Structure 1
Amino acid sequence: MTASHALRRYQSTDDTKPSWALVTGATNGMGYEWASQLAALGFNVLIHGRDQAKLDKVKADLTGASASSSRPIEVRTLVADAGSVPPQLGQIAEAIDDPSLSLRVVVNNIGITNQDYPLLEEVSDEDACAMVALNTMFPTLVAKRALPKMKAAGGPALLINVASLGAWAPSPYLSVYSGTKAYNLHFSRSLYNEQHSSPSPSQVDVVCMVPGTVISGMNDGPPTSMMPTSHDWVKSAIASLAPGWMSSRPGPVIVPWGAHARGLKFLNAMPMGLGDRITRNFVVKERNKKRASGA
């Protein structure tokens, strides 16, 4: 692959060791788009999910799209139940440990939320634990397993942890979800600092990628300026990783969608109490709308 693009620096120059990317939660929404767009850039892709039939469908899509290229990509499916307590990496661990695989990009994309905006006391113990496990424990274990392999890859590598604007705007009826997204943010920033703290700084770039509302498995359309499609959001996320004029390495936290970035700046500029009031009003309105529609 010789074409220049935002992630070119993470691709191996050794044709005998092609670069691989791992995407968790890759069977729909943003995860599907991460896998599809990374494959289009020439990365071989490890796609994770818990349903083999859905993974096979995604694999067929990705390999079919690259079949006519000069270098068709390879896709491997990985099954693991991210919401088990404790989470099990399953086939992900086997793939990461494969000595023949040059792992250059990991996208900790997987995440779930409460679709019906329940009170905390309405959430079952099992569902609360599964959300914490899937949103926080699972990406932690993936990063822990992948980082040594990425450091040993012999060149720049990229670890993306997907958080949410909910990390700054704790939402009523989404208390567990908001808490896990705050964890994603601080976990990722800590890892970023960790990579820069040793006497010989790591070549692994750690980025917390922050979406607002995106049309995906969690949210329905139609698309608006504040709610882009998964395709458009991931495209902007990848573009945001391009080297800048002062540094080839991305910063620790990126809000790639312009309207989301402006919303976050507005939220951070106001007093906490006012921000909380705006968040409450927005989420209560969305909850009432969803419950009135019977969704």
Structure 2
Amino acid sequence: MGKALAKELVSRGFDVLIHGRNMTKLAAVRDELRLAVSESNRDVDVKVWCADASAGRWYPAELLALTEGPDIAVVVLVNGGTDIKSYAIDGQTDDEIHSVMSLNFFFSVFVTRTLLPALRSTAARGPVSVLAVGSHVALIPPPYLSVYSASKNALQSVMHGIAADERFAGRNVDGNLDSKYLQVGSVHTASNKGKPTLARPTSEAFVKDVLRRMTAPGRIVAPNLVHGISVWVIMLLPERLAERLAGRQMVEAWGETVTGGKSRAACASTSS
């Protein structure tokens, strides 16, 4: 999703800074983007920042150096995800829990707070968007993913809190600094290889939805129409029914990875 977003932004003339934890992969994406830029005769800069979002501690100097100078108009916090687990929270190690929270929450907080002074400066001259990629798991935790669900709920709260803090301090009176939490369902990516459908758009289609809905009103936005309808349906369902459906979908998608070797029928029976 991040790669698709970077491609879309450079095609629109944005300079981009892409982040990842593998320098070899980052360099390959950078070269691909630069080639696309040169072929289109655009004057666009592509920078890379290599840092492990699951590490739990980061230092701002490198990020500040990479973002010094140009106005920062769009920040998209795409990092996130978790391994599917077959055991409850009491079976998860400290390292597992810290890694999930760092990858999905703490790293996004670090990036946002590091860039916030520059974002305020840009907002004095024009619109700025900070977009945090959320997940439907924040609405109803799938089996064994309570920490992942909590990380997305925390991310939503921080996006709201940033907006509230700016209003309380009397800044951003013109609304130029806009922080949003994106409600995201299934998207076809390298790690989610299910067949693309209306409910599972390709990354390329989804990032177009994101940019199209970037200025939509409200602090919580579902860029994809089907994802938005899914949120509405989930919120209407009784809690236990929603839990059963979430469990059933996990088993259908991940099988023994979720059940720990149990049969699909046995797990479906247990979850109901």
Give the Å deviation of 1:38.
Answer: 1.0
Contact 2:74–2:130 (CA under 8 A) maintained in structure 1: yes
Q: 1:250 & 1:128 partners in 2: Cα distance?
A: 34
Q: 2:164 & 2:87 partners in 1: Cα distance?
A: 36
Structure 1 residues not aligned, in runs of 5+ = 1-29, 243-248
Q: 1:107 aligned to 2:76?
A: yes
RMSD value over aligned CA atoms?
2.3
Q: 1:32 aligned to 2:3?
A: yes
Q: 1:228 aligned to 2:197?
A: no
Indicate the residue corresponding to 1:144 in structure 2. 113
Question: What amino acid is aligned across from residue 66 of structure 1 in structure 2?
Answer: V
More displaced 10-residue stretch of structure 1: 69-78 or 118-127 = 118-127
Q: 1:178 & 1:113 partners in 2: Cα distance?
A: 10
Q: 1:250 & 1:194 partners in 2: Cα distance?
A: 18
Map 1:234-245 → 2, pairs under 5 A: 234-242=207-215
Question: What amino acid is aligned across from residue 124 of structure 1 in structure 2?
Answer: T
Give the Å deviation of 1:117.
Answer: 4.5
Out of 196, 205, 214, the position equivalent to 2:178 is 205
Contact 2:76–2:131 (CA under 8 A) maintained in structure 1: yes
* Secondary structure, aligned partner of 1:103: coil
Q: TM-score, normalised by structure 2?
A: 0.86
Contact 1:210–1:253 (CA under 8 A) maintained in structure 2: yes
Q: 2:155 & 2:70 partners in 1: Cα distance?
A: 27
Q: 1:277 & 1:58 partners in 2: Cα distance?
A: 40
Contact 2:250–2:258 (CA under 8 A) maintained in structure 1: no
Out of 75, 81, 86, the position equivalent to 2:57 is 86
Q: 1:290 & 1:130 partners in 2: Cα distance?
A: 19
Q: 1:191 aligned to 2:171?
A: no
Q: 1:120 aligned to 2:89?
A: yes
Contact 2:138–2:150 (CA under 8 A) maintained in structure 1: yes
Q: 1:272 aligned to 2:232?
A: no
Question: What amino acid is aligned across from residue 106 of structure 1 in structure 2?
Answer: V
Indicate the residue corresponding to 1:24 in structure 2. none
Contact 1:118–1:174 (CA under 8 A) maintained in structure 2: no
Q: 1:62 & 1:205 partners in 2: Cα distance?
A: 27
Q: 1:139 & 1:52 partners in 2: Cα distance?
A: 20
Contact 1:208–1:253 (CA under 8 A) maintained in structure 2: yes
Question: What amino acid is aligned across from residue 82 of structure 1 in structure 2?
Answer: A
Question: What amino acid is aligned across from residue 211 of structure 1 in structure 2?
Answer: V
Give the Å deviation of 1:228.
Answer: 1.5
Q: TM-score, normalised by structure 1?
A: 0.79
Give the Å deviation of 1:190.
Answer: 1.9
Q: 1:85 & 1:68 partners in 2: Cα distance?
A: 39
Question: What amino acid is aligned across from residue 204 of structure 1 in structure 2?
Answer: L
More displaced 10-residue stretch of structure 1: 232-241 or 198-207 = 198-207
Q: 1:161 aligned to 2:132?
A: yes
Q: 1:284 & 1:90 partners in 2: Cα distance?
A: 44
Map 1:24-63 → 2, pairs under 5 A: 30-63=1-34
Which has more helix, going by share of residues?
2
Give the Å deviation of 1:256.
Answer: 1.2
Give the Å deviation of 1:36.
Answer: 1.1
Out of 18, 28, 35, the position equivalent to 1:64 is 35
The alpha-carbon distance between structure 1 residues 102 and 117, as it changes in their structure 2 partners (threshold 3 A), is: farther
Give the Å deviation of 1:80.
Answer: 1.3
Q: 2:66 & 2:37 partners in 1: Cα distance?
A: 22
Structure 2 residues not aligned, in runs of 5+ = 262-272
Q: 2:86 & 2:4 partners in 1: Cα distance?
A: 26
Give the Å deviation of 1:271.
Answer: 2.5
The alpha-carbon distance between structure 1 residues 58 and 212, as it changes in their structure 2 partners (threshold 3 A), is: same
Task: Give the percent of matched residue pairs that are identical in Structure 1 and Structure 2.
Answer: 27
Q: 2:85 & 2:142 partners in 1: Cα distance?
A: 13
Give the Å deviation of 1:216.
Answer: 1.8
Q: 1:152 & 1:58 partners in 2: Cα distance?
A: 30
Contact 1:112–1:218 (CA under 8 A) maintained in structure 2: no
